[in-house]
Amino acid sequence: MLATLLALLLPLPGWAAQPRSPGGAAPVLGFAAQTRVEAETPGHTLYEVRFPSSRPSRFPANNTVWGHLYVPKTPRPDGALPPCILVLPIMAAPNSWVEQRFVDTFVARGFAAMWLEMPYQFHRRPHPSIPSGQVFLARTSRRLGDNFRQSIADARRALDWLKGSRLVDGSRLGLFGISLGGIVAAAVYTADPSPKGAVLLLAGADFPSLLFASSMTSAFVRGAGIDPEELRRTWKDIDPAGRREDNRGKPVLLINARWDSVVPKANALRLKEAFPEARQVWVPFGHYSAILHLFWVRSYAAREFSRLLR
């Protein structure tokens, strides 16, 4: 009986409670978080961070958020903690290969970077046999809205954790997202004042019209009988489109593909309209073939964060 009680109360081996904030006081987060050192290299320490989702679903595995925080070991000239970039990944990819290329570049430039597993991705799949991210694309407007809201809530909770952490400079946080990760990041940036800037790759706004126009999702949502107006009502308060005044003064770099059929040009332009100070760069190719620009775009994004988080 005693052994069982101790097992419930004590952290798992290798895990530590949420780091204390400067001055020794524990940050007031309103949720429990645990960290452990996942790996050490000559250039960085990799921490695994877990915390509960604030919008739990009906699948227990999906209700723990997993974050992977890379903190560079090279001391900064000013002696300060490194600024940090929260990375929101592609939803349906089987791995994090693309995001890892950006994380490696950010860390090499002196940033810390945390990439977050989105709802139903990787460890958060309802069952190991289900492809990563597949459950996210639900068959009803309400569940689609719930999944998207959970993504936003999880990212905002990750920002709260980073602000209270002694591992990074919580006053200098940036947002980076790719594809659906970029769409979620745009919604997070609209709602949360914490980030100092964002770089969004292959993202768009006006989510209901995007779902029905996208070559990836249009057949699915039409086949599921999802009503466009119901979808619009469900997502009305979380879509950056129409919230231009809320986003005034927020710096953001948008990188979009000129012949993208997954995130159509009209939706990419709606995202530009939603952020008055946004700068938009167009690259050749489509949503998937744009990966050919990966080698220079990641350095371009890192330089932009050097300006935004200086």
Q: Which pTM was predicted?
A: 0.90
Phi, psi (rounded to 5 degrees) for 39: -165, 155
Say yes or no to pLDDT of 186 above 80. Answer: yes
pLDDT in tens, 68-122: 999 999 887 778 999 999 999 998 888 999 999 999 999 999 999 999 999 999 9
For residues 249-259, average pLDDT = 98
d(CA 304, CA 106): 11
Q: Euclidean distance between the first and final Cα of the chain, in Å?
A: 54
Which of the four pLDDT bands, split at 50, 70 and 90, describes residue 284?
A: very high
Position 76 scores a pLDDT of 77
Position 282 scores a pLDDT of 98
Geometric angle at alpha carbon 26, from 165 and 197, rounded to 5°: 30
Contact between residue 256 and residue 283 where contact means Cβ atoms under 8 Å apart: yes
- Spatial neighbors of 295 by CB under 8 A, at least 6 apart, are none
The answer regarding whether domain 29-308 maps to CATH 3.40.190.10 reads no
d(CA 103, CA 113): 6
d(CA 94, CA 121): 9
Position 7 scores a pLDDT of 31
Position 16 scores a pLDDT of 54
Mean pLDDT of the chain: 90
Say yes or no to pLDDT of 309 above 90. Answer: yes
Contact between residue 241 and residue 206 where contact means Cβ atoms under 8 Å apart: yes
